[in-house]
Amino acid sequence: MRSHIGVFVGNLVFTGLCLSTGPIFLVLGGAAWHDGASWGWAVSACGAAVTVMIPVLALRSTRAEFPRITGGDRVRAESGSYGDDTFVMWAPRSEQGPVGARLVRADVLEASSVRYDPDGEATFTTYVGDYAPAEFTPLVRLRLRVHAAEEAEGAVGFSGFEITDEWRVPALCLSAITAGRLAVRTDGLGKVTVLWPLSTLLAGTRTCRLIDLDGRLIDVTRRTGHLLEQMRLSSAVDGVEMAGDTIDLRRLDAETAARFRRPAARARAFPEDRAPVTEPGEEARLLTAQLPGEEGGFGSVGRRWSRRGGHLVRARFLEMRGTTTFQYHGPVLDTVLRVQPVDGTLPFDAARRLTVPMNYLAVLHHTREAVLRVSPNGRAFVVDWNRTNLLAGVSTAKVIAPDGREIPVPRRSDALWPLMNLLASHAVSNPTAVLDLRKQRMRAVAGAVMEMVRDRGLAPTDHRA
């Protein structure tokens, strides 16, 4: 298990080697100045400036690389707060399609990764003015069933059809593929443009609400019929961009508010059934095994950390906002998390720039939870992507009983969290998703694990590992 100090020391050594001329110039300049050379002070000052930059750059690179949250990352109460069930995503813009194309729903029948191969896997790459560069945008092959377009306002509708093609998918919007619902524009003749930010809205990854003129809140998350109507209205009205999670009709002009109020009134009087979290056939479009990111696992544990009181807590992402910086494993995002301490203190929000793995983003419609490791003194929290991905369902867990029988653990099972805590409290590391109780180091927890598994109704299979 990596520590913050270990990462800092490694970065300090690397930065020191890269900027080794600084200390050398500092010593040479000082010696020359001592001998009376007039140029010695200038060389010494230059060397001092470079030397000072060594720890500064090491600290900056450590903060970018190591996902630690401290008191300085807490969001001030006066800056506003999101509700517990809110998730706001500020995704890159996408092309809007040809003029006259109709906005309809498309279902994802199959998906497969075609190409994702940016240069420099471990480095951070920053762009100016380009929020979705092609080299950091995976190319995905999709088979879509495009729904029929209704006849409206004199326009001629068209029947549904299927299409298979390759699309560049912004990493923030990968969950729309897994959920299986996309918002697209099409002319009905085979040209299809996927509206990726709106697709995350249709998929239910992003929450969506309306505030009526009387101040009442209407939640339309995963109500696809209403959302499509609202998207069409938004595209026809200037100044109403469905980028956040709430449209406040009280802030619109009277004519625009009246247009939005009609579907809002219907949504309140006759609530539409919510679409499922994911459409049937998810396995045919689940890309997690083909995308970069941490593999899910029960997690590594430092013995000293565990014995001194280190523990795990859960957090929930409230906001993700794209930046112009990317890394191989995923985009670098400005995030807001709500941390749930286990000591009885109130939850708090933290704003932190993080590299979010692409395989986690692909299941973001299922859960926005994250697992954090808490330092023994309770002052620092580290995002543990290994455990987070297992809890989110990126990987499928399995327990092998002492007698060799396999016990499959379903994705996002409620048994995963207590199992992680049990292992962490006993300082037992298991970085993979397979918990083999036959191993010597598992003897201390084997009985408790089997009891926990039985209590949650998980049954072994006949196959013996």
Q: Report whether 66 contacts 2 (CB < 8 A).
A: yes
End-to-end CA distance of the chain: give it in Å, rounded.
Answer: 28
Answer yes or no: is pLDDT of 220 > 50: yes
Mean pLDDT of 124-135: 81
Q: For residue 205, is it left (φ>0), alpha (ψ between -120 and 50) or beta?
A: alpha
Digit-coded pLDDT (tens) for 54-72: 888 877 777 777 788 998 8
d(CA 127, CA 116): 18
Determine the pLDDT at residue 92: 76
Answer yes or no: is pLDDT of 247 > 70: yes
Answer yes or no: is pLDDT of 80 > 70: no
Digit-coded pLDDT (tens) for 7-49: 777 777 878 788 788 788 777 777 776 666 776 777 778 878 8
Three-state SS string over 370-397 comes to: EEEEECCCCCCEEECHHHHHHHHCCCCE
d(CA 426, CA 442): 10
Question: Which residue has better confidence, 138 or 92?
Answer: 138
**The whole model's pTM is what?**
0.89
Q: Counting every residue, how long is the chain?
A: 465
Per the listing, tokens 């050379």 go with: 37
Lowest mean pLDDT among 129-138, 204-213, 224-233, 366-375: 129-138
Question: Which residue has better confidence, 269 or 81?
Answer: 269
DSSP class of 245 = S
Lowest mean pLDDT among 81-90, 369-378, 395-404: 81-90
Mean pLDDT of 227-234: 86
- pLDDT band of 154, cuts 50, 70, 90: very low
Answer yes or no: is pLDDT of 151 > 70: no
Q: Give whichever of 4-18, 121-135, 290-304 has the largest mean pLDDT.
A: 290-304
d(CA 465, CA 338): 40
Query: Exposed, middle or buried by CB within 10 Å (0-12, 13-18, 19+), for 85?
Result: exposed
Digit-coded pLDDT (tens) for 326-360: 999 999 999 999 999 988 788 999 999 999 999 99
Lowest mean pLDDT among 126-140, 286-300, 338-352: 126-140
Question: Which residue has better confidence, 207 or 100?
Answer: 207
d(CA 357, CA 360): 5
Residue spans of alpha helices (H) in 204-253: 224-236
- Which residues neighbour 22 within 8 Å (Cβ) at sequence distance 6 or greater? 47, 48, 49, 50, 51, 53, 54
Determine the pLDDT at residue 458: 86
- Which residues neighbour 37 within 8 Å (Cβ) at sequence distance 6 or greater? none
d(CA 298, CA 317): 21
- Which residues neighbour 358 within 8 Å (Cβ) at sequence distance 6 or greater? 138, 171, 174, 291, 292, 293, 329, 330, 331
CB-facing half-sphere around the CA of 63: CA atoms within 13 A = 12
Question: What percentage of the chain has pLDDT greater than the value 90?
Answer: 50
Digit-coded pLDDT (tens) for 417-458: 999 999 999 999 999 999 999 999 999 999 999 999 999 888
Per the listing, tokens 């696809």 go with: 224
- Over its C-alpha atoms, the chain yields an Rg (Å, rounded) of 26
Q: Report whether 337 contacts 309 (CB < 8 A).
A: no
Mean pLDDT of 120-128: 79
- Amino acid making up residue 309: G
- pLDDT band of 276, cuts 50, 70, 90: very high
- Which residues neighbour 412 within 8 Å (Cβ) at sequence distance 6 or greater? 366, 367, 391, 392, 393
Token pair listed for 443: 């003897």
- pLDDT band of 235, cuts 50, 70, 90: confident
Mean per-residue pLDDT of the chain: 86
Determine the pLDDT at residue 238: 62
Helix-helix angle 416-425:443-455, to 10 degrees: 160
Question: What percentage of the chain has pLDDT greater than the value 70?
Answer: 91
Determine the pLDDT at residue 451: 93
Answer yes or no: is pLDDT of 465 > 60: no
- pLDDT band of 153, cuts 50, 70, 90: very low
Determine the pLDDT at residue 239: 52
DSSP assignments along 332-379, one per residue? EEEEEEEEE-SSSPPPEEEEEEEE--HHHHTTTTT--EEEEEEPTTSS
Answer yes or no: is pLDDT of 155 > 70: no
Mean pLDDT of 299-326: 92
Coil, helix or strand for 76?
Answer: coil
